[in-house]
Structure 1
Amino acid sequence: MLSPVIAGVDGSAEGLAAAEWAAREAVRRNRPLHLLHVWDRHSHGHHSTPASTAQRYPARRALREAEDRVRRACPGVRLGAAEQVEGPATAALLRAAERAELLVLGSRGLTGLAAPLVGSVALGVVARSPRPVVLVRKGEQAEDEHVLADDGTPSTGTGTGYRDVLLGIDLADARDEVIEFAFEEAASRPARLRVVHAWQPPSALGLGPGDIGLAGDPARAEEWQQILSAALKVWRDKYPQTEVLETVVKGRASSALVRAASAASLLVVGRRLRERPTLAHIGPVTHAVAHHAGCPLAVVPHR
């Protein structure tokens, strides 16, 4: 049986946007879509009794609303049985991720700095999930994945192509799982893949004996460009139909990716799987783009 795309829904606008995005992704991947709602009896003061009607009704309502939204927006999706599971939410979503092809969650972006859902759930799942997780903002729609029509109006793709899939890559730690995910996303749309590596010049204090500290920025940029091209060559050969734009920029990776994400349909970054998964850590770049990127964010775990 094919692993499903799973969308976590909670009745919020972010959850509905995540369900719609997940439906489109399930169609692109030829996978079923499962909708999942997590409820926590402890948040309602019921510590030992079975789930009450007051708890189950909001769950059924959230799932029904998401189902209706998905069927209207993406009638071709194969929608599996909706699920209600008991929380805590982070643990329940991590269990779901283990059987998912992809887990999709709503994200409140910058406002999540003060929002328990994003702080303790969505980012907690991203930090520990063994499978890729996509975070989707409120208001994300199908036309946001596409370039504008000739007259400047939004388009759902009839006659226009997809916006770039954006891959943020650290050439000091480039991983096949992350690169392959980005190429697959670009090929499935189809879209151009834009690969961005950000570099910063070494400080004089960081130079060791024999290190060359006099090379100018153009020379360093050219060297990074050559390294990036070499790292992507095997993937270009594997995906010959995918147009690839390689970009090296001087500066902070998070700033470069947030700027580029404004014109992208999806941003892909990697996250190292830790030997102690109880430590919730996603790294400063992923944390920054999770709050500030203007497109859906895919976080792909790797060893």
Structure 2
Amino acid sequence: MKRTLVVGVDGSPESRAAADWAAREAVRRDMHVHVVHAWLWQPLALAVVQDRGAEDRRAREILQETEAELGHRYPQLSLSVEVVADVPVPALLRAAKDAEMLVLGTRGHGALAGFLLGSYGQQLIASAECPVVSVRARGGKPVLGAAESEVVVGQQGAVEESARVLGFAFEAAAVRGVPLRAVRAWSLPPVYGYSPGSMWIAEQFGGLEPFEKAALDQALEPWRLRFPEVEVVAHVERGSAGHVLLSEASDAQLVVVGRRVGESPVGTRIGSVAHAVLHHSACPVAVVPHH
């Protein structure tokens, strides 16, 4: 049974771009694409004429149009479509529960919009159990980097923390046949964050930057062995993680970042680095949950 990739559509140019990107990715990875349109009849408490039958027909037309477009462009694609009677966030979270990836469309630069307006996109990215890819659209088509452009991944934390993020990025680079740029940013800790133990460890590597380089190499080592065909460029730089990653990904075709799973005191969040990259990256962004 093929792995499944889920994409949400609503007939907008942004969602059509997301569906096109999803189909390309599925062909690369030999995956099945499941296209979902979430629609729930909700009578308005306003003096507005509503036609439930017309809206239901339009929902099915959206899927028929998407299915026809993808089938024509990617005849080898394994594809299924579904209308889900629910509001978008819970519908797509259920559809993607056992999926390898969830793909959403976004509009231009700035806040997440696309087929999910308001906070829906952020809710999905913050809550999905699988990686979520945000695809920008221009003229109804996905914004893509050059075919030879790198995949860029942000690495943070210890080996175990970044394993799922790096695994996703290495596979993405492997199926594209392009180099992977692994980026780790660091900054000087606050004066109260220094401790004799932590500074002793850093000093064994000749300072903080060599220590950070060693940490990145250690995290990359098992994935380099698993994907020997992927050329890896390791980049360590002092600065804000979001700024460093965006700078290194200016010409990328995909950026991969992590999202720590767990409850925040102020609710579910996607993290400052993922938030920055989602709002300012010109290319598709994959947000991978990890513990």
TM-score higher than 0.5 here? Answer: yes
Deviation at 1:17, TM superposition (A): 0.8
Deviation at 1:222, TM superposition (A): 2.5
Which structure 1 segments of 5+ residues have no match? 148-161
- CA change 1:67–1:44 in 2 (3 A) is farther
2:164 matches 1:177: yes
Partner of 1:252: 240
Query: How many residues are aligned here?
Result: 281
SS of corresponding position for 2:111: helix
Moved more, 166-175 or 119-128: 166-175
Partner of 1:265: 253
Q: Distance in 2 between matches of 1:94 and 1:240?
A: 34
Q: Distance in 2 between matches of 1:42 and 1:143?
A: 34
Partner of 1:86: 85
Identity of aligned residues (%): 41
Superposition map of 1:1-303 within 5 A: 1-42=1-42, 52-80=52-80, 82-108=81-107, 110-112=109-111, 117-139=116-138, 144-147=144-147, 162-172=148-158, 174-209=161-196, 212=199, 219-274=207-262, 279-303=267-291
> Which amino acid counterpart does residue 78 of structure 2 have in structure 1?
R
CA contact (8 A) 2:109 2:282 kept: no
- CA change 1:118–1:287 in 2 (3 A) is farther
Deviation at 1:69, TM superposition (A): 2.9
Which structure 2 segments of 5+ residues have no match? none
CA contact (8 A) 1:16 1:69 kept: no
- CA change 1:118–1:110 in 2 (3 A) is farther
- CA change 1:118–1:250 in 2 (3 A) is farther
CA distances 1:163-217 after superposition (whole Å, capped 9, x unpaired): 11111111347321111111111111111111001111123343235665998xx
CA contact (8 A) 2:152 2:252 kept: yes
Deviation at 1:42, TM superposition (A): 2.1
SS of corresponding position for 1:182: helix
Query: RMSD value over aligned CA atoms?
Result: 2.9
SS of corresponding position for 2:15: helix
Q: Distance in 2 between matches of 1:10 and 1:123?
A: 17
> Which amino acid counterpart does residue 274 of structure 1 have in structure 2?
G
> Which amino acid counterpart does residue 208 of structure 1 have in structure 2?
S
TM-score, normalised to structure 2's length? 0.86
- CA change 1:271–1:43 in 2 (3 A) is farther
Deviation at 1:14, TM superposition (A): 1.2
TM-score, normalised to structure 1's length? 0.83
